[in-house]
């Protein structure tokens, strides 16, 4: 099996998780790290004891490096499209952190570049590899709760100065919006569970009067989604809440309900209370808790077997369209039909 050479773009919090995950994969080796500052890249190489890795300050130089097959883009949101397009055009497979873009033109530009280049892509909606998500999907596939008619998935995560990312994420130019920056995980979860095309979105957003976390955009959004098959969904997203991280999944079907790791189903005749299914839940905002290793393993498998990931840019574009429709709906005070024009 050929060893895949991997280049990491950015040296922040998430980059460490990719470096660890690719380094642990027996078919991969991290061969390049690109930073705005050469010393920071060299420090990362030393910190992770990367034996055959070069430091770069120029992305185009890194992706021209012989032996580099995959790039992982771990930078602020406004950079993802240009960096992703450059990697795709150089023939590299790409991991792009969420959100892939902060406007719909960017989403489409990246999607087209990846399709045109014929490279593999994955967007880091990493909860798709969370064990509780796996359990829920397995139950849904077996129709344990029948057909979903209503679903709620919520991202309730206070992001303030205690997170390094807050410094740039709270700014519109770099972060985009609350639902793009964080709530996109919940929107993607909603799509992942309902498994249908969204056709209409309505949303409201606000911020607390004191705006203590100095968000340039409204840090709180509640979004309603109508799906083609008739199911409806709700996503609450708050970056301003003051409480421990909560990621909430509630699914209601015609034969039962799922509330995070709890199941009630009319398929089990004697059941008269919730059954708890033990599994790691998506209950932490700490990236070292997230299943990046499983995501990387899946992506390498897709590259090696020449198959598309279920979380490729083309699929993630649909999650982003819902987020962008929510922002438009909240701004204009009207429901927004999908796909966006």
Query: In the complex, which residues of this chain contact ligand NAP (CB under 6 A)?
Result: 10-15, 35-37, 40, 74-77, 79, 97-98, 124, 126, 164-165, 168, 287, 290
The CA–CA distances, whole Å, from 182 to 128, 174, 289 equal 15, 13, 16
In the bound state with ligand NAP, the residue whose beta carbon lies nearer, of 5 and 285, is: 285
Length of the chain in terms of residues written: 341
Query: 13-24 vs 38-47: helix axis angle to the nearest 10?
Result: 50
Query: 131-141 vs 184-194: helix axis angle to the nearest 10?
Result: 30
In the bound state with ligand NAP, the residue whose beta carbon lies nearer, of 36 and 172, is: 36
The CA–CA distances, whole Å, from 269 to 130, 131, 135, 273, 274 equal 29, 27, 21, 11, 13
Rounded to a whole number of angstroms, the minimum distance from the CB of residue 228 to ligand NAP is 27
Rounded to a whole number of angstroms, the minimum distance from the CB of residue 241 to ligand NAP is 17
In the bound state with ligand NAP, the residue whose beta carbon lies nearer, of 12 and 67, is: 12
The CA–CA distances, whole Å, from 220 to 168, 250, 318 equal 17, 20, 21
In the bound state with ligand NAP, the residue whose beta carbon lies nearer, of 43 and 202, is: 43
Residue showing tokens 């309902």: 194
Rounded to a whole number of angstroms, the minimum distance from the CB of residue 162 to ligand NAP is 13
In the bound state with ligand NAP, the residue whose beta carbon lies nearer, of 69 and 295, is: 295
**Residue 9 · residue 95 · CB < 8 Å:** no
Rounded to a whole number of angstroms, the minimum distance from the CB of residue 36 to ligand NAP is 4
In the bound state with ligand NAP, the residue whose beta carbon lies nearer, of 176 and 233, is: 176
Rounded to a whole number of angstroms, the minimum distance from the CB of residue 70 to ligand NAP is 16
d(CA 291, CA 137): 16
């Amino acid at each position: 099996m050929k060893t895949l050479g991997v280049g990491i773009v950015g040296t922040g919090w998430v980059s460490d998780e990719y470096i660890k995950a690719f380094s642990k994969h027996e078919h991969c080796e991290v061969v390049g790290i690109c930073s705005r500052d050469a010393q920071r890249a060299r420090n990362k190489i030393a910190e992770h004891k990367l034996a055959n890795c070069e430091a770069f300050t120029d992305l185009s130089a890194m992706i021209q490096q012989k032996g580099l097959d995959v790039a992982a883009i771990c930078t602020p949101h406004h950079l993802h499209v240009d960096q992703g397009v450059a990697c795709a055009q150089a023939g590299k497979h790409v991991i792009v952190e969420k959100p892939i873009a902060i406007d719909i033109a960017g989403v489409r530009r990246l999607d087209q570049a990846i399709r045109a280049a014929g490279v593999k892509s994955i967007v880091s909606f990493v909860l798709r590899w969370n064990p509780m998500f796996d359990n829920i999907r397995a139950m849904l596939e077996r129709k344990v709760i029948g057909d979903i008619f209503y679903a709620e998935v919520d991202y309730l995560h206070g992001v303030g100065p205690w997170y390094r990312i807050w410094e740039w994420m709270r700014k519109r130019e770099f972060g985009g919006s609350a639902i793009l920056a964080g709530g996109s995980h919940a929107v993607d979860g909603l799509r992942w569970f309902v498994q249908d095309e969204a056709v209409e979105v309505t949303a409201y957003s606000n911020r607390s009067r004191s705006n203590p976390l100095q968000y340039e955009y409204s840090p709180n959004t509640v979004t309603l989604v109508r799906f083609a098959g008739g199911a409806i969904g709700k996503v609450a997203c708050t970056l301003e809440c003051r409480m421990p991280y909560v990621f909430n999944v509630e699914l209601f079907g015609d034969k039962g309900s799922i509330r995070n790791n709890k199941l009630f189903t009319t398929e089990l005749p004697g059941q008269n209370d919730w059954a708890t299914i033990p599994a790691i839940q998506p209950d932490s905002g700490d990236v070292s808790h997230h299943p990046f290793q499983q995501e990387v393993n899946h992506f390498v498998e897709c590259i090696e077997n020449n198959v598309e990931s279920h979380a490729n840019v083309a699929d993630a574009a649909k999650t982003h369209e819902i987020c962008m429709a929510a922002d438009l709906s909240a701004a204009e005070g009207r429901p927004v039909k999908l796909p966006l024009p």
